[in-house]
Structure 1
Amino acid sequence: MNTRRIFAFLAVAAIAVVGGVTAGHWLRGGAGIESADAASPSQANAVAQLWAAPVTSVDGKAQSLSLYKGHPVVINFWASWCGPCVEEMPTLAQLHHQYAKKGIQFVGLGVDSDKNVQAFLQKVRVDYPVYVIGFGGADLARAFGNMAGGLPFTVVIDAKGNIRSTKLGQIQPKELEQTLDAL
């Protein structure tokens, strides 16, 4: 009986610690858009990795994301099998239209197979550029701070190549608009 109480106490303590760490992360902005005022070397490295990342167009042709270098860009890592990713796409498309006249480009990076992305885009119309980065996109997302490897994951990069915000999970349109309006 005494051993059971000790194990119960340890289990409750472990849950409390995990809950406290999670709450602390959330309160510091970990569950929302995180702002980045100054680019650290690791952030600059992540952006350089993005520009050099091997991607293909939906029709399978090798492409380079470096054409977006020097422009403000919203990068959205997603997958066809990810419900929240699919759910936020209409909002991203709406924001793409809203901010296109301000020179802000939205780009979708499919962390998925060519076949799945092609099939998905035949069913769902997305009017911003979408590229296939494959499952290696999870490594690139980690370089931007997405240690959980979850999707969707959105990164805002300004024209100077600085990461202005990151968001793991579905975007909150008002938060993203505030970040974009500040560019």
Structure 2
Amino acid sequence: MHVYEQIFEASNLLDLKHAGLRALGSLRMEKGYHDYGHDMDNTDAIFEVGLGFTCDFTKASGFIGKEAVLNQMQIAEADGGQMKRLAQVLVNDAEPLLQHGEVLWRNGKPISEIRSASYAHSLGGAIGLCMLQSDCEPIAKSYVSGGDWTIEIGNKMFPCTVSLRPLYNPKNEKIKV
């Protein structure tokens, strides 16, 4: 606390401001914005993390990794869709908090771990991002809606909502105002 107070006193001279990094973290989680190294890394395919829209397949010069992305697309088409997808999880009970590493269950079976988490003040509960993975059916809306989802927090199970789209402002209507 002493160090903080000393910095805060000097902040007037240096024009320093509070940044609110925890608030930024909470807001990014509500919108489902990804953080490289936490929510995704170099082992995840671009379509699995929902960033396929960033690829310009019509660009004359192509892009680094284009062939690998096209190969991933072919595999997904052969499987009937993506077998792995980044998803958002909201704990239905407002009381428990998520940190990361909590286990997500579908129909009584463990399926994933929370990669990153925060409290979603706009949604009224703990929220996290995780990578859903299936061996038998593509991860699509029907896979999500057809599941009974729970999350294990501190050895207790809590019902939760799983979504492939951001649970807060999924159509970006509030951003475009």
Please indicate, yes or no, whether the TM-score normalized by the shorter chain is above 0.5: no
Which TM-score band applies after superposition, normalised by the shorter structure?
A: under 0.3
Higher relative contact order (Cα pairs below 8 Å, separated by 6+ residues): 1
If the length of structure 2 is used for normalisation, what is the TM-score?
A: 0.24
TM-score, normalised to structure 1, is: 0.24
Q: Which has the higher helix share?
A: 1
